Structure formats: C-alpha cells, structure tokens
Structure 1
Amino acid sequence: MIKFKTKKRIFSLLQGRNLSRFKGEGLDFREFREYSFNEDAKKIDWKISAKINKPLVKEYDEERELRIILCIYATPSLYFGIDLLKSEYIQNLIEILGIEAVKEDNKIQTVILKQEPMIFKPTKNIKTHIAFTRKLGEIDFFNVQKGDLKILNRFKKSLLVLIGDFFEEIDLSYLKHETFVIIIRDIYEENPPFRGDITLLDPNSKQDVNINFSEFDAKRIKKHIEEIDKKNYIHFKKLKIPFTKIYTNENPIPKLIRLFK
C-alpha cells in the first residue's frame, strides 16, 4: 500500500478563511477562581461557593478546533484501476488528511456515503483515525449502492471534504457545510489505451461486456467525461466550492495544499 507524506501542514493554510462558525462551540472547564466584585454575579457557582464560604466562578477554555468531515461518495466505479484501485487510493488519501487534521489539533470524522452509510465517531486520536481508515478496505465498492448526500446535513456545520470520482452531475447546492471537492480518477478512464476486441466489466450491471473498442469509442468516452466535468465545474464555481482533480498515479500533496490554501 502506498503512503503519502508531507512536511507542510495542509489545513493550517485555511486559517485566513472565515471558518469560525465551523469551530467547536462548546466550552471546556479549566479551573475555579475567586469572584471579582465588578463581575456579573450570574457567573458565581453558588453550590461550590457555599461549601468553602467564598464566591467562586468557573473559568472555561473555548473549543478552537475545526470540525472536519471526510466523506467518500461511494460508487461502484471506484472499484477501478490499472495499477491501483481508486478506492485504495482514496483510503490512503483519507488517512493522510485525517492525520494532518489531528496534528493541527482538529477533530476529524469519516463518513462513507452509501445506501447504508458508515459513520465513524469524531476523533482527535491518530491511531483511532488510522483504525477507521483500515475498515475502508473491507468495503465491497464493486457492489455498493449510492447514498443520499442530504444525509450530510444532519451533522453540525463543518468543513466538509467530499471525495469521489463524480462521473455524473452532482448537486451540492443544499449542503450547509463549507465544502471542498476532491475528484479521484484513473488517467486511463479519460484516455482509454486499449483498442480492438476487449472484454469489460460493467460496474453497474456487474456483467462482462464484449466490445470492439475503436478510436471513435475512445474519443466519445473522453468527450462524455469532459462534458460531465464541465457541468460540475460550473456548478462548483457558482457555489464557490473549491475543487481539484487528482489522478491515482499522482502524489496528491501539491494539489491538496493548493486546494486548502
């Protein structure tokens, strides 16, 4: 299994963006301190104060970490790859993104969006996150059925990283999250190298298809994908959603750094 490494912090580049509404809203108790006469008396903890016969108030630290959701938009077409399956590449990508997020003191949550979604608990522990990513290797992407993106609105407003191959038009207009899109492709999907009589496995019908693949067929597939991409790109730009396309033969780090800049 390939491993991605980076010396640069990925999510720290987001600090210039207005992300305060996606940070933790809770308060962590730090300590008791003595009440000052010019403070609001409502802050006094009367129960503790009565025990020691001295007015005390609680001191809190505001949660500052970002809430980050890493979501795989699962489709059967992720079970494809000449040298490496897209699903395997995404597993590695999820791992490095989660590790970097936790290193920067953020809380990470992984979601595999399929008909019966897999939702892992939020964590700030690298070992726990890696254990979650290992479970991605157990998913039968070839037989997966697509889930409903609207489920993501059940979560608190977060920084959402949506990952998939997106071979269809997708509507993200109803999502309430600060969304980033990562498109994962095998380079041969857009530029098929094979010609002549071949047998292909249709990931949707799960049937072998015997075809005579010509130069015309290759150009038609490429044009079809370009049209879908163009429509999605226009949609993303209209919603001001940052996006990038990464091929499975690439080191993703440079594009990730630009994406979250």
Structure 2
Amino acid sequence: MRKRLKTLLIKTKRQVFSEMIGNNPSLFHGEGYDFSELREYQVGDDIRKIDWTITAKLQKPYVKLFHEERELSIVCACVMGGSLYFGTHRIKQEVVAEVAAIVGYSSAKNGDLFTGATVNRKEVWVERPTKRLFGVNRFVEKVDGMPVIGVSSDYKEGLRQLFRRIKRRSILFVVGDFLAPVDLGLLSKRHEVIAVIVRDRFEEHPRPLGQVHLVDPETGETLQTHFGERSVAKYRAQIIASDKALFSHLHKHRIRFVKVYTDEDPFGRLVKLFGGRV
C-alpha cells in the first residue's frame, strides 16, 4: 500500500473513531418502524417526516421521529472517470477515496453493512457487503489506485445498472465530480440517495491562461487554444448552467448533497451535512 494512502486511511480512521460526538453516533439515520416522539420541525429535518395532520391542527410543522434500525445497508458508489485526474491542491480521485473511507469506517463503527461500488461507462463493479475494516480498506485502495485516464464517467446508464445490482433498500452515497449529465431519479425511488460532489475550485473559477494545450483526460482529444477573458466567461456560464440543472434535479428528487473541494477536509463537510452528528 502506498505511503500516501496509508496516511489517508490512518487520518480518516482517527477522525471517525476518535472525533465522533455522543453515544453511538453515526452518519446514518435509519428509517425504523417504532415511533419515538413528535417534535416541532427544525431546520435541516427531512420534510418527508412531517406529520401533516398534526401540523394542520397546531398550525406549526411537526415531524415524527422513529427509533433507528439496528442494521442499515450503506452503499458508497464512486463514479470514476478521467475528469477525476485533476486538481490544483490534490487530484479529485484522492478526495473521492477519502470520502469512501469516511463512509466505510462510519458504517463499520456503527455495525452496519457496507458495500463499495465503482461506476464508469464500461462497467459497474460491486464489492460484497462487509462489516470488517479490512473490506473497507480494500475498497478504498481500489478507488485510490484505479486507472482513470481514458475512462469515461457515466451518471446515467451506469447508475441505472447500479439500481439493478443493489436490491436491498440502502443509504446510497454517490460520489463524483458531477460534471456530466446526471440521472438519480430511479435510484432515489428505492434508496435514500446522498450526492457528494467533489470539485477543484479552479474548475469553477478559472483564470485566463493565454495560449494553452488542453487534453481531455477521458477521450484523449487535444486542443490548442487561447484561454483568455472571453473564454473564461463562456466556460463559467456553462458551469453555472450545468450546476443549476444539477441542483434542480437533486431538489426535485429530494436528494441531499454536499460539495467538497480538493483543498477542504471531507470529514468536516460531511459532519456539517448531517447537522454536526457523524
């Protein structure tokens, strides 16, 4: 195992097993079937848990809380492609691997079943479910070391194939840069989907570079061009439009999401997503 990957796994394991807050904390909240309590709606609560009958009577939104299931099915699906081989701080592929480690270790700590999966245009690969740290380490090592140059990511057909492979209702983390068109609607009908968007800040806020030689890491196509102020403005408009469509799609299907940049700590971002409870 490479020294950098060992360091990443040690750091992530320490964060998950040493820095968690409270008794039996977890990233994951089960659906459960045993009613626990009724309380007033708080910012960040899942609107699907609102009790509309009580809300109408009391004229305030109330949510039903349930005891968590004792064993959840956690799936981390990493959408792999050449676009991940980019980064000004560190490459996005390393961040994707770290997110997979956080999800895997959190699952193991809580005694839940963890399934790792990789998705691209050529294949969907799914690990056997595990509760062992060894299984998590093996999956993270695969994600971190997977050759992605010349590989196209697939957020449509690849994820439809994943839907057919993952039968049990799960909490499904889809991790990738989401630069290609996305369709998570089918997955969200069976699973609780959470999108983790991994980006480099330069991708969203590039600066003029002048004359450049560009290479598409997915197709290998090259382009000689002048990347000046006008090109930057055109590119920025495309990114903004693409992200607007992405966020609209996620909101439509009630999918929670978080964006993690290559110069950030993914653990902190995931803690914030889950309201400070990991």
Matched, 1:80 2:86: yes
User: Unpaired runs of 5+ in structure 2?
Assistant: 34-68
Task: Rate the CA distance shift 1:158–1:11 in 2: closer, same or farther, 3 A.
Answer: farther
Aligned to 1:169: 181
Aligned to 2:98: 92
Taking every aligned residue pair, what percent have the same amino acid on both sides? Answer: 30
Aligned to 1:246: 260
Superposed structure 1 runs of 4+ greater than 4 Å apart: none
1:96 Cα offset (Å)? 1.9
In our comparison, the structure showing a higher alpha carbon Rg is 1
Aligned to 1:233: 247
Aligned to 2:221: 207
Contact 1:11 1:260 in 2 (8 A): no
Matched, 1:152 2:162: yes
1:210 Cα offset (Å)? 1.6
Taking the TM superposition and a 5 Å limit, the aligned residue runs for 1:1-261 are 1=4, 2=8, 3-4=11-12, 5-6=15-16, 7-8=19-20, 12=26, 14-15=28-29, 19-20=31-32, 64-114=70-120, 115-147=122-154, 148-154=158-164, 155=166, 156-175=168-187, 176-261=190-275
1:185 Cα offset (Å)? 0.3
Q: Alignment RMSD, CA only?
A: 2.1
Structure 2 counterpart SS, 1:141: coil
Give the counterpart letter for 2:153 in structure 1: K
1:194 Cα offset (Å)? 4.3
After superposing the two structures, state which structure 1 stretch, 213-222 or 200-209, moved more: 200-209
Contact 1:69 1:158 in 2 (8 A): yes
Give distance in 2, aligned partners of 1:88 and 1:13: 21
Aligned to 1:37: none
CA deviation profile, 1:186-218 (whole Å, cap 9, x unmatched): 111111134211112112330332211101211
Give distance in 1, aligned partners of 2:195 and 2:144: 22
Give distance in 1, aligned partners of 2:219 and 2:135: 36
1:11 Cα offset (Å)? 6.7
Contact 1:73 1:163 in 2 (8 A): yes
Give distance in 2, aligned partners of 1:171 and 1:207: 26
Give the counterpart letter for 1:208 in structure 2: T
Contact 1:180 1:243 in 2 (8 A): yes
Give the counterpart letter for 1:227 in structure 2: A
User: Unpaired runs of 5+ in structure 1?
Assistant: 22-62
1:137 Cα offset (Å)? 2.9
1:172 Cα offset (Å)? 1.3
1:159 Cα offset (Å)? 0.6
Contact 2:75 2:171 in 1 (8 A): yes
TM-score by length of 1: 0.77
Contact 2:77 2:118 in 1 (8 A): yes
1:120 Cα offset (Å)? 1.0
CA deviation profile, 1:68-92 (whole Å, cap 9, x unmatched): 0000112221111123111111112
Structure 1 counterpart SS, 2:260: strand
